[in-house]
Amino acid sequence: MGRPLFRESSCNRCGLCLSECPVLGVPRERAGEEMEKLVEGRETEVLSRCTSCMTCNLLCPAGCSPYHLILRRWEERYEREGLPLRVRTVLPLETPNFLSIARESMPEDERRMLSSWSEALKGGKGGGEILYAGCNAQIFPYLLRTRLLEGLTAVGEQSLCCGEIYYRMGLLGKMEGLPERVGRRLNSLRPKKLITFCPACYHMLRDIYPDFGVGLDFELQDLREWLWEGMEKGRIELRRKLDKRATIQDSCHAKLLGESFLDLPRKMVEAMGMEVVEMERSRRRAMCCGIAEGICSYNPFDIVEGAVRQLKEAERTGADLLVVYCATCLLILSIGKVVYPAGMPIFHVLELLQLATGEEPLRRNMQRAEDMIRGLGEKTVFSEERFWVGCEREGGKCATGA
Ligand code: SF4
Ligand code: SF4
């Protein structure tokens, strides 16, 4: 199996990646030392403080992909120590998890949407435009219930996870066969074009799958590109100006998709008549919505703390509303807003487009966040138990041979 690798031979330990890291930001000399420790597999604060924002991959002038070295070290930690039981809930291919928790409290109309996406996977007529409804869409099916997406056939189910969270947590060994399987299944649908609902899926399919040796036989486009194209070509007709000031939460994956990708939500928001006011750290220097804070610490309270930090940073801009274009950001910031209700209203860019085109969005994000918090339950959150993915351990040894 191929996998994304750190290019050690090109790394001169200059430390630029870690000194410019938005989280660590250590002086250059120390950054070089920490990098050396990381390369040698020694203890370093990087492994406990990194929030997997992936910015360092952009920063390295030699294209070494230092983030992939961090992933490898996290993977070694996982192999030694396993994961706390609560992590199971964020892994899309384990059950119970966030998808089953979300589904439990979902209204009937959204459950029916999920069934129809799964059913559509069996069709595979080919030729048309397909919307890949990855895990994030499966938390918020109602977001896809809009005239804006008319003409697209949505497909998706739990088993068709692109593997983003496994990649992001360094569980690369556990991704074995996953990109091949998902790539084969998507190719078998023979779409003319596949549109990703989430920027994370787009980044995975476009840039990470090739590292695993997986190619796709169709045109790939991200939903934000598709929407902007629709606005430019008149397929999406704006009827109302939304006279508001908006600040934007960037997606970690979007940073790696480039400046023109980061421009898209801003251009959409401005086209709807809003003024964009940027957070102190935005675009390529943006901080994660909070989800990544828990990726290295495995601590859900770190995730909530990260979300509240972002809500406060958004507040400091003086904006009227916070715009997200990734559904994970929508979930995590909405969870943050449950514990910090003072935060401004959060809108997915699709919901704003609905408003600007004369549709009434369903706005179920806060209810979903509350249901998810309730569904997680204290027992899982505080459990001291550990596990290895797909492996039942007995007496410290893997009983299933995984
Ligand atoms: S990974 Fe790149 S930026 Fe980081 S120390 Fe090595 S050469 Fe420098
Ligand atoms: S992934 Fe982000 S937080 Fe982690 S070291 Fe790289 S730049 Fe810093």
pLDDT in tens, the chain (402 residues): 567 789 999 999 999 999 999 889 899 999 999 999 999 999 999 998 998 888 899 899 999 999 999 999 999 999 999 988 888 888 888 878 888 889 999 999 999 999 999 999 987 666 789 999 999 999 999 999 999 999 999 999 999 999 999 998 889 888 878 999 999 999 999 999 999 999 999 999 999 999 889 999 999 999 999 999 999 999 999 999 999 999 999 999 999 899 999 999 999 999 999 999 999 999 988 889 998 888 777 888 889 999 999 999 999 999 999 999 999 999 999 999 999 998 799 999 999 999 999 999 999 999 999 999 998 776 566 777 888 887 644 444 444 444
Residue 3: phi and psi, rounded to 5, are: -160, 155
Say whether both 247 and 209 belong to one domain.
no
Residue 120 lies in a domain: yes
Q: What is the pLDDT of residue 342?
A: 86
Is the CB of 24 within 6 Å of ligand 2? yes
| Final residue of a structural domain among 81, 103, 135 | 81
Residue 1 lies in a domain: no
Say whether both 370 and 355 belong to one domain.
yes
Distance of CA 118 to the CA centre of its chain: 21
Is the CB of 71 within 6 Å of ligand 2? no
Q: What is the pLDDT of residue 300?
A: 84
Q: Which amino acid is at 139?
A: I
Q: What is the pLDDT of residue 293?
A: 83
Domain that holds residue 137: 87-231
CA of 258 from ligand 1 middle (Å) equals 20
Say whether both 226 and 159 belong to one domain.
yes
Is the CB of 292 within 6 Å of ligand 2? no
Say whether both 321 and 257 belong to one domain.
yes
Dihedral, CA atoms, 314, 315, 320, 324, nearest 10 degrees? 20
Residue 8 lies in a domain: no
If one counts every other C-beta atom within 10 angstroms of the C-beta of residue 342, the result is 9
* Distant-in-sequence, close-in-space partners of 23: CB < 8 Å, separation ≥ 6: 49, 50, 51, 53, 287
3-state helix, strand, coil in the chain (%, to 5): 55, 10, 35
Residue 143 lies in a domain: yes
Q: Whose CA is nearest to atom 8 of ligand 1?
A: 14
Atom of ligand 1 nearest to the CA of 18: 4
CA of 178 from ligand 1 middle (Å) equals 30
Q: What is the pLDDT of residue 153?
A: 94
Atom of ligand 1 nearest to the CA of 35: 5
CA of 41 from ligand 1 middle (Å) equals 16
Say whether both 243 and 257 belong to one domain.
yes
| pTM of the predicted structure, to 2 decimals | 0.91
Residue 305 lies in a domain: yes
Tell me if the bond preceding 96 is cis, omega within 30° of 0.
Answer: yes
**CA separation for the pair 153, 133 (Å, rounded):** 10
Distance of CA 366 to the CA centre of its chain: 19
| Final residue of a structural domain among 197, 231, 265 | 231
Residue 35 lies in a domain: yes
SS3 19: helix
Please give the C-alpha separations between residue 41 and each of 52, 75, 345, in angstroms, as whole numbers: 18, 12, 44
Say whether both 129 and 248 belong to one domain.
no
131-168 as b/e: b if 16+ CB within 10 A: bbbbbbbbbbbbbbebebbeebbbbbbbebbbbbbbbb
Instruction: Report the residue among 6, 11, 58 best suited for mutation to probe ligand 1: largest number of ligand atoms under 8 A from its CB.
Output: 11
| Final residue of a structural domain among 198, 231, 264 | 231
Q: Whose CA is nearest to atom 6 of ligand 1?
A: 11
Say whether both 245 and 115 belong to one domain.
no
Instruction: Report the residue among 45, 54, 256 best suited for mutation to probe ligand 2: largest number of ligand atoms under 8 A from its CB.
Output: 54
CA of 19 from ligand 2 middle (Å) equals 10
Atom of ligand 2 nearest to the CA of 54: 1
Say whether both 77 and 99 belong to one domain.
no
Burial class (CB in 10 A: 0-12, 13-18, 19+), 39: middle
Count of structural domains, the chain: 3
Is the CB of 136 within 6 Å of ligand 2? no
* Distant-in-sequence, close-in-space partners of 167: CB < 8 Å, separation ≥ 6: 4, 71, 175, 204, 208
Say whether both 198 and 250 belong to one domain.
no
Say whether both 163 and 214 belong to one domain.
yes
Is the CB of 347 within 6 Å of ligand 2? no
CA of 201 from ligand 2 middle (Å) equals 20
Q: What is the pLDDT of residue 399?
A: 42
Residues with CB under 6 A from ligand 1: 11-17, 35, 59-60, 62, 64, 66
Say whether both 263 and 215 belong to one domain.
no
Residue 110 lies in a domain: yes
Query: What is the domain-level CATH number for residue 345?
Result: 3.40.50.1860
Say whether both 70 and 100 belong to one domain.
no
